[in-house]
Structure 1
Amino acid sequence: MRVVCIGSGNVATHLARAFKTAGNEIVQVWSRSASHASELACIVGAEVLENLDEVEDAADLYLIAVKDDAIPEVAETLVGVQGVVVHTSGATNVDILAGHARYGVFYPLQTFSIQKEVDFAEVPLCVEAADEETLRFLSGLGAEFGSQVYHIDSEKRRALHLAAAFACNFVNHLYRLSHTILEKHQMSFDMIRPLIRETAHKVQADLPENVQTGPAVRNDKRSMDAHLEMLSSDPQLSNIYQILSNSIKKTQH
């Protein structure tokens, strides 16, 4: 299979590598950053496409892995190509590609960093397509990666993307705030890493509501008041602490 990769960021890089590893040919790479496109093209043995208007029109798959607000412009440029056009966004409706004969979504549910290897056998792949033939095609691509493939429509995918923001992006931000507190008191973030690992481990075997711990779930007002006293000089952190504590108390049965 011949693939054109549009984008050179975290998602584009890992998907291009995965397609290459699965025995496919990455024929062209395009990015707004010419240097990043060159780096990815070098990794996967592809041609660097300097102008998207000159994209090859006979590839089998056109992978749009760019920022959400850039998808419409890229999709319009690709009108007339012969292969399947997909985007990789969790929050963008499949219909944004409706100007193409065959189109769909190929959304890997994972957090990606270019420097960290990803085992796609551990990555859920959510696919959606305008027709059954294209859906089977995209499902087969996911199977090549060894991934668990889910047929998820745009509405459910947006909900999944929202849930992922809470489970990943917001949680990681809380790690950062935790680091800030530790640093302020001359302690290493390494001290809290075992706690993070154990918390993540518990929800692999149980639902989060069944393993919630801490002063809020116990309604330990003394501890919470002590925490708020420590945060009195930082209204933003204090507000976050109170919002999350109240949410825990309200959602416990």
Structure 2
Amino acid sequence: MISVVILGAGNVATHLYKAFRNAENIEITQWYNRSRSAISSYANAVEITDNLEDLKEADLYIIAISDDCIAEFSSELPFKDRFVVHTSGSVAMHDIDKKNQIGVFYPLQSFSKNAEVDFSEVPICIEVYEKDNLQLLKDLAQAVGCKAHKITTEQRQTLHLAAVFVNNFTNQLYRIGHEICETKNIEFNILHPLIEETAKKIQYMSPFMAQTGPAKRHDKKTIKRQLKLIEKDSHASIYKLLTASIKSTHGFNSPKPIKTTKA
């Protein structure tokens, strides 16, 4: 049985709590947050606290708070030589105060509090300073049905960068598509099958091979026609930038920027 103390109450912390609660080999010893009210609804299921001095002993302490606060928060922990990890994709492992044993338990997934997550589909990137702690993180990942990947800080930070492109930026493109549909009273859900098919393709082919569209075809007429349809300058800028990137990737380098004249 792995005993765990969760530190923080954001999206990642909340989903970890739910996953740990349903795991047979994990005991949630305690849940801390500086604002007790944020976790008060769980008080009947787990011991909660807003006082660091009241933290109980456990096999593992998981810091799941905003990236900018990890270093300072870890220095405030009132104990030494215990195993403390953070869940960030971008923060270095060594940002955790060295008075404790340190590591990283990074679930590579997008978390929203109101969206359920199947942890069996979530890769866990793990990193430790003391090799003896590696197995504990592997066992923790396995207990919630995840596959653990031992990686370096540089690899993890690079994965996080790639994740920003494939998740955060892609979601913003969904938002732009939603806005464009709204301008003509079109239901955005008409695009759902296309979004799902695009995501499905890269399960069995590379993104390079899966690429389609006017930029891939070097279809100048369609590109100019679509630019005239775009009403927001910010959307047009993104369209031009991505079109140029696709053209470059597929061998259609153009020395001149794409221009358009509004009708």
TM (norm. structure 1) is: 0.94
* Structure 2: unaligned runs, 5 residues or longer: 252-263
Helix, strand or coil at the partner of 1:63: strand
2:258 matched residue in structure 1: none
- Identical-residue share of aligned pairs (%): 43
Output the CA distance in 1 between the equivalents of 2:135 and 2:151. Answer: 13
Q: Which moved more, 1:181-190 or 1:73-82?
A: 73-82
Helix, strand or coil at the partner of 2:167: helix
1:97 matched residue in structure 2: 96
Give the partner amino acid of 2:234. Q
Q: Which moved more, 1:100-109 or 1:178-187?
A: 100-109
1:111 matched residue in structure 2: 110
1:5 matched residue in structure 2: 6
Structure having the higher helix fraction is: 1
Offset of residue 54 of structure 1: 2.8
* Deviation digits for residues 81-131 of structure 1 (CA, Å, limit 9, x no counterpart): 453101000000001124133220000001112222222111100000002
Helix, strand or coil at the partner of 1:29: strand
Give the partner amino acid of 1:89. S
Output the CA distance in 2 between the equivalents of 1:99 and 1:109. Answer: 25
* Structure 1: unaligned runs, 5 residues or longer: none
Output the CA distance in 1 between the equivalents of 2:133 and 2:194. Answer: 44
2:236 matched residue in structure 1: 238
1:18 matched residue in structure 2: 19
Q: Which moved more, 1:196-205 or 1:132-141?
A: 132-141
Q: Which moved more, 1:3-12 or 1:238-247?
A: 3-12
Match runs of 1:28-107 below 5 Å: 28-42=30-44, 45-56=45-56, 58-78=57-77, 80-81=79-80, 83-107=82-106
1:138 matched residue in structure 2: 137
Runs of 4+ in 1 over 3 A off after TM superposition: none
* Counterpart check, 1:196 vs 2:198: no
Output the CA distance in 2 between the equivalents of 1:40 and 1:62. Answer: 18
2:205 matched residue in structure 1: 206
1:184 matched residue in structure 2: 183
* Deviation digits for residues 27-55 of structure 1 (CA, Å, limit 9, x no counterpart): 2222233221213444xx22221222332
Output the CA distance in 2 between the equivalents of 1:105 and 1:128. Answer: 5
Q: CA RMSD in A?
A: 1.5
Output the CA distance in 1 between the equivalents of 2:78 and 2:88. Answer: 19
Output the CA distance in 1 between the equivalents of 2:96 and 2:43. Answer: 25
1:218 matched residue in structure 2: 217
1:126 matched residue in structure 2: 125
Give the partner amino acid of 2:239. Y
TM (norm. structure 2) is: 0.90
Output the CA distance in 1 between the equivalents of 2:21 and 2:166. Answer: 30
Q: Which moved more, 1:61-70 or 1:30-39?
A: 30-39
Give the partner amino acid of 1:55. L
Output the CA distance in 2 between the equivalents of 1:65 and 1:39. Answer: 18
